[in-house]
């Protein structure tokens, strides 16, 4: 039993590449070459050097004493919020821009929800002198204004997606449409473990540096590389993939994922894909998604732009399907409360996405000796307006 992708690009019954013919040549080339390119000595050296000197890796593993006291267990935070640009997204964009350079592409496109992936992509394009276009839902452009300004300052063109709920799904549709129209010169840097094979595996590998570090960091701190739990929020699933990657085949390490329940799972306004979803194809991949009986995608909802997506990556769909991962969910309000709490008791303002992972600690019934590692996927600067608006005492 393996939880890794198979040679056809599937994780159990999920995954694959369901793509229009115009993309066949690009995807086929990536499928045949992504592993070899990423394993070249000079590629690995460039990737490692940039992660160290430009991103600031390794990111710290921080024991959170007051959070631990409150929820039981020994809670460690993997500080991806301290990376350059403020989240885990930069790990993947560094890998993909090196890949784009290696295969001779000059034009980069990306989709973004909360803007963290857009900023990370705009950043690496500035670094490498490449043209950058970022598709972003018109609704998200309004709620994540600081990141829109950052992308523009970094030289990217931000293009609003105005269909559907004007969020991440719609931005992804627009990016795919662009790629179909400009396949020759363009590389599409997908921001999560979604999309056609090889993207889910490629992005997971670039993000796997997170759990590679956690293993030795935890050993230094506790004497063991193995925690009892790894916890992450899931939008598409890339920060979760990063922190679970090197623990997939350690059955004693329980994998816990947190989805966005929005206004409540039963409210009709949520993004709780694993509970409400069924198997289907979205953005080139067979996975779990929220859809009507006749296969129309249901518009998702979350206060958090980065989790406001109607699907999850095929790797996670498989982990959930096989029982390897357990899923909890957190509502908007629970996530807000968790963000206010972490700020007040640990002095760390997390991203609203990340707060969904923190919000389930109280539901896990932790025992005092249990070791928990949570991926602190990003920082909350971009969410200040939302935090202020929803807090009774800040104005």
Ligand X SMILES: *Cc1c(COP(=O)(O)O)cnc(C)c1O
Closest distance of CB 357 from ligand X, Å: 8
Known catalytic membership, residue 111 = yes
Nearer to ligand X (CB atom), residue 185 or residue 381 = 381
- Is residue 316 a contact partner of residue 227, using CB atoms and an 8 Å limit? no
Nearer to ligand X (CB atom), residue 180 or residue 336 = 336
**Ordered DSSP codes for 54-84:** II-PSPPEEE-HHHHHHHSSEEEEEEGGGST
Largest CA distance in the chain: 56
Known catalytic membership, residue 285 = no
Nearer to ligand X (CB atom), residue 119 or residue 253 = 119
Closest distance of CB 181 from ligand X, Å: 26
C-alpha 158: how far from chain center: 20
What 265-271 contacts at long range (C-beta under 8 Å, 24+ apart), as own/partner pairs, is 265/329, 269/301, 270/300, 270/301, 270/302, 270/329, 271/235, 271/300, 271/301, 271/302, 271/307, 271/308, 271/309, 271/310
3-state secondary structure (DSSP) of residue 284: coil
- Is residue 304 a contact partner of residue 297, using CB atoms and an 8 Å limit? no
Nearer to ligand X (CB atom), residue 91 or residue 173 = 91
Token output for 158: 């931000």
- Is residue 289 a contact partner of residue 295, using CB atoms and an 8 Å limit? no
- Catalytic hit among 111, 259, 334, 346: 111
- Catalytic hit among 89, 105, 286, 382: 89
Using CA atoms, how far residue 292 sits from 64, 302, 317, in Å, is 42, 19, 18
Binding site for ligand X (CB under 6 A): 87, 89, 114, 116-117, 192, 233-240, 306-307, 351, 353-354, 377-378
Nearer to ligand X (CB atom), residue 115 or residue 227 = 115
Residue among 389, 262, 379 nearest 332 (CA): 262
Closest distance of CB 352 from ligand X, Å: 8
Known catalytic membership, residue 377 = yes
Closest distance of CB 394 from ligand X, Å: 21
Active site residues: 89, 111, 377
């Amino acid at each position: 039993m393996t939880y890794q992708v198979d040679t056809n690009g599937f994780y159990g019954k999920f995954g694959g590449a369901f793509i229009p013919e115009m993309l066949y040549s690009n995807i086929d080339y990536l499928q045949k070459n992504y592993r070899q390119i990423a394993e070249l000595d000079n590629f690995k050296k460039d990737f490692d050097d940039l992660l160290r000197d430009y991103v600031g890796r390794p990111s710290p593993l921080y024991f959170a004493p007051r959070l631990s006291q409150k929820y039981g267990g020994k809670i460690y935070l993997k500080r991806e919020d301290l990376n350059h640009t403020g989240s885990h997204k930069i790990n993947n964009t560094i890998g993909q821009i090196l890949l784009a350079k290696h295969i001779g592409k000059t034009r980069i496109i990306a989709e973004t929800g909360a803007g963290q992936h857009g900023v990370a992509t705009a950043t690496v394009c500035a670094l490498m002198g490449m043209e950058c276009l970022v598709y972003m839902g018109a609704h998200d452009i309004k709620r994540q204004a600081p990141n829109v300004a950052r992308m523009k300052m970094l030289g990217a063109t931000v293009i609003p997606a105005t269909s559907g709920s004007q969020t991440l799904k719609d931005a992804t549709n627009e990016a795919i449409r662009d790629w179909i129209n400009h396949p020759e010169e363009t590389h599409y840097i997908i921001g999560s473990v979604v999309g056609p094979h090889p993207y889910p595996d490629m992005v997971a590998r670039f993000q796997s540096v997170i759990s590679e570090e956690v293993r030795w960091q935890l050993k230094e701190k506790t004497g063991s590389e193995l925690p009892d739990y790894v916890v992450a929020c899931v939008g598409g699933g890339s920060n979760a993939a990063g922190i679970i990657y090197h623990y997939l085949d350690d059955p004693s390490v329980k994998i816990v994922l947190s989805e966005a329940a929005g206004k409540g799972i039963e409210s009709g306004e949520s993004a709780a894909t694993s509970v409400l979803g069924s198997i289907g194809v979205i953005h080139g991949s067979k996975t779990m998604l929220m859809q009507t009986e006749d296969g129309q995608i249901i518009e998702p909802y979350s206060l958090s732009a980065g989790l406001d997506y109607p699907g999850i990556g095929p790797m996670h769909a498989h982990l959930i399907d096989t029982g390897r991962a357990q899923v909890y969910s957190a509502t908007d309000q629970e996530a807000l409360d968790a963000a206010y709490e972490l700020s007040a008791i640990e002095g760390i303002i997390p991203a609203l996405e990340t707060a969904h992972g923190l919000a389930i600690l109280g539901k896990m019934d932790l025992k005092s000796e249990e070791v928990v590692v949570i991926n602190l996927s990003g920082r909350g600067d971009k969410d200040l307006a939302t935090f202020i608006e929803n807090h009774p005492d800040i104005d």
